[in-house]
Structure 1
Amino acid sequence: MMTTPELDDAALEFASKVFAAAREGDADALKQWLDQGLPVNLRNHNGDTLLMLASYHEHPQAVQALLERGADAQILNERGQSPLSGAAFKGNVEITQLLLNHGAQVDVRGEDGRTPLMFAAMFNRTDIMEILLRDGGANILLKDAAGNDAIACAKALNANESLAWLELYLAGDDKDFFELS
């Protein structure tokens, strides 16, 4: 039977500083610790990686530093959320693009089956939806665990801008649509 080692007060305090640096976007501190051997995919008690926290709290320099040092953009937290889902939820174009440019899987899903495209659709993040579809090749037809696709997710939250955008997208030629939008 494998046991988890207990951390002393100094180790717990250091871990707290590391996760705070990710939440606050202190890219310099993260770079220093990672370059000294801190595991880049370190997780907190919620299963959040440093990349998840930096992405969700919208710190592109920290996200860049973590990705350059090998952070895994596919690791889901305990709620089944990915860094890309967090960026789509928040509507951060720069971080969405960074994650995609570093190999984040566009249709990654947690237990609820929701994709980053669905999160973007729910909150009228049409700029994010365009990036996910155009640059990431998102599958607009995927359904979550409840059987809802991106259009149904937009309808459920009265995200009328997303709904209109997605309906236009489905009705037209992809190439022409992106040149017009």
Structure 2
Amino acid sequence: MNDQTDPADEQVVALAQQIMDLARGGDLALLPVIDQGVPVDMQDAAGNTPIMLAAYHGHAELVRGLAARGADVDLANDRRQTPLAGAAFKGDTAVVQALLDAGADPAAGTPSARDTAAYFGRQEIVDLLG
């Protein structure tokens, strides 16, 4: 059995980590990378997509850019959380609005964005979600 890791595999893992870091940081440099063919709905080990990470970390402009490139705004991570529920948890009205504008479903996920906003007393988010 060969215990050595293929250098090409290491490069792919490093690139994937960089992509997720760009999303987490709200770096719009991610958008041209997506335009060059990186799957917009790629997932990390926890099932998080770039739009999930951008939403959770409060980057409305990147959320809009990813959604415009076809990101699944309702794709839940391994914990069944959606980007909209993450934004509702954080109380970020700009991200919530960006996701709603892109067609996100307030009832998707477990708990849903509606349930999350209500539980954490985010009335401004509850009002946006309708």
Q: Do they superpose with TM above 0.5?
A: yes
Q: TM-score, normalised by structure 1?
A: 0.66
Distance across 2 between alignment mates of 1:92 and 1:72? 19
Match of 1:129 among 119, 126, 129: 126
In structure 1, list runs of 5 or more residues that go unmatched: 1-5, 134-181
- Identity within the alignment, %: 40
Between the aligned partners of 2:14 and 2:46, the Cα distance in structure 1 is: 17
Aligned to 1:152: none
Partner of 1:78: 78
| Deviation of 1:109 (Å) | 2.4
| Aligned amino acid, residue 105 of structure 1 | D
Distance in 2 (alpha carbons) for counterparts of 1:12 and 1:91: 32
Q: CA deviation at 1:99?
A: 0.6
**What residue is the counterpart of 1:118 in the other structure?**
115
TM-score by length of 2: 0.91
Q: Does the CA contact (< 8 Å) of 2:74 and 2:105 recur in 1?
A: yes
Q: Which residue matches 1:26?
A: 27
Larger gyration radius, structure 1 or structure 2: 1
Residue-by-residue CA offset, 1:38-96 (whole Å, 9 max, x unaligned): 11001000000110000001111111110110100111100000000001000010111
Gaps of 5+ in 2: 1-5
Q: Which has the higher contact order (CA 8 A, sep 6+)?
A: 2
What is the deviation of 1:102?
0.7
Which amino acid is 1:86 matched to? G
Cα displacement string for residues 100-122 of structure 1 (whole angstroms, at most 9, x for unaligned residues)? 11111111123xxx221111112
> What RMSD in Å do the two structures reach over aligned CA positions?
1.2
Amino acid at match of 1:127: E
* One-letter identity of the residue aligned with 2:69: R
* Aligned equivalent of 1:51: 51
**SS of corresponding position for 2:44:** coil
Superposition pairs of residues 101-112 of structure 1, within 5 angstroms: 101-110=101-110
Offset at residue 13 of structure 1 (A)? 1.0
Q: Return the offset for 1:12.
A: 1.1
In structure 2, the residue corresponding to 1:8 is in which secondary structure?
helix
